[in-house]
């Protein structure tokens, strides 16, 4: 029998409580999608994957914007 953590949501079907189902996603632990070594991959449910990626999301957004040509203001100085 699988024991789910307390936070794991249940869904009611009539009188019976059943664990809610989640789709598993593959997380790249080093945040590099090119690195597909098994030690770098972990199966996570979507909420856990989002929680894991949260600290990296802002940095990744800036990197993606620069890759698509978004200019940054770094290095500019006020010349009067």
pLDDT digits (tens, 9 = 90+) for 30-51: 988 899 999 999 999 888 888 8
More confident position, 7 or 63: 63
Give the chain's domain count: 1
Note whether residue 27 is domain-resident.
Answer: yes
More confident position, 69 or 52: 52
Note whether residue 59 is domain-resident.
Answer: no
Note whether residue 46 is domain-resident.
Answer: yes
- Residue 78 has a pLDDT of 56
3-class DSSP assignment, residue 74: coil
Domain that holds residue 23: 10-54
Q: Are 25 and 52 in contact (CB under 8 A)?
A: no
3-class DSSP assignment, residue 16: strand
Q: Which pLDDT band, with edges at 50, 70 and 90, does 1 fall under?
A: very low
Note whether residue 5 is domain-resident.
Answer: no
Phi–psi pair at 23, nearest 5 degrees: -85, 130
Note whether residue 2 is domain-resident.
Answer: no
Note whether residue 70 is domain-resident.
Answer: no
């Amino acid at each position: 029998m699988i024991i789910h953590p307390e936070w794991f949501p249940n869904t009611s079907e009539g009188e019976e409580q059943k664990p809610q189902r989640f789709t598993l996603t593959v997380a790249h632990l080093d945040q590099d999608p090119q690195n597909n070594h098994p030690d770098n991959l972990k199966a996570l449910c979507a909420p856990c994957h989002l929680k894991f990626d949260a600290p990296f999301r802002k940095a990744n957004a800036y990197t993606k914007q620069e890759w698509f040509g978004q200019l940054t203001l770094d290095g500019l100085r006020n010349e009067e």
